[in-house]
Chains A and B, each alone.
Chain A
Amino acid sequence: GAGVSQSPSNKVTEKGKDVELRCDPISGHTALYWYRQSLGQGLEFLIYFQGNSAPDKSGLPSDRFSAERTGGSVSTLTIQRTQQEDSAVYLCASSFTRAGGQSSYEQYFGPGTRLTVT
């Protein structure tokens, strides 16, 4: 079946502009995660969704970052007033929810969106 997809694959933007990154999780996966991969910081957790709610936003680096999820499926990560330090690969992952409400252990990652802020 189809895996996690992300769009765009590459995004170049000017400093100060807003960007939206999209993630389509695997159908039926109710848990969704965003991570950021950058040279200086490695792979960092950003936010976790269960359905449409985000019980853990602890990794969002500033209030310029926000994310939403609608219909328990597609998620959008928005970065406002982008800065050069936001340049990174943004990865989305999804996993299914087991009986009892816990997320499964394995996460399935998308190919990422490479964001370059000039």
Chain B
Amino acid sequence: AQSVAQPEDQVNVAEGNPLTVKCTYSVSGNPYLFWYVQYPNRGLQFLLKYITGDNLVKGSYGFEAEFNKSQTSFHLKKPSALVSDSALYFCAVSSFSGGYNKLIFGAGTRLAVHP
């Protein structure tokens, strides 16, 4: 069975400092990995994905994530955090079995960036 773990309920970072939001996954076959962000009273916004190729993927708003197959991790990173990055972040995995993207989400990590 597929699963995603986000071990931190909340991450606190000072503005201008680098941030990391952790994600580990379990999936049979090749993983398709995603990060989404949710602002209050809004739907989920796509940030980035790993399908194949380079382990470091770059996405929207200056975010990037590194795929590590041996550690089954896909941590989200940003070199310099902004207060406006404060939101709820979800990691998701799919096996893309059947040719569609049934996403299995982690529990979410709340990122708080302090001025």
Binding site for B on A (CB under 8 A): 4, 31, 33, 35, 42-45, 48, 50, 55-56, 91, 93, 95, 101-112
Contact = CB atoms under 8 A, between A and B. Distances in A.
Contacts of B32: 105
B14 interface: no
Given A50-B100, A103-B100, A91 B51 contact: no
B45 A48 contact: no
B101 interface: yes
B109 to A, nearest CB: 12
Contacts of B42: 111
B49 A106 contact: yes
B43 A95 contact: no
Contacts of A107: 46, 101, 103
Interface in B26-65: 32, 34, 36, 41-46, 49, 51
B104 interface: yes
Contact of A111 (B36, B43, B49): B43
A-side interface mostly = strand
A96 to B, nearest CB: 11
Contact of B100 (A44, A56, A112): A56
A103 B45 contact: no
Interface residues of B, number: 25
A56 B107 contact: no
B43 A106 contact: no
Interface string B87-115: 00010100010111111111110000000
Contact of A106 (B46, B90, B96, B107): B46
Contacts of A109: 36, 43-45
A93 B100 CA distance: 13
25 contacts: A4-B43, A33-B101, A42-B105, A42-B107, A43-B90, A43-B92, A43-B108, A45-B104, A55-B100, A56-B100, A56-B102, A91-B43, A91-B44, A93-B44, A95-B101, A102-B96, A102-B100, A103-B101, A105-B32, A105-B34, A105-B51, A106-B46, A107-B101, A111-B42, A111-B43
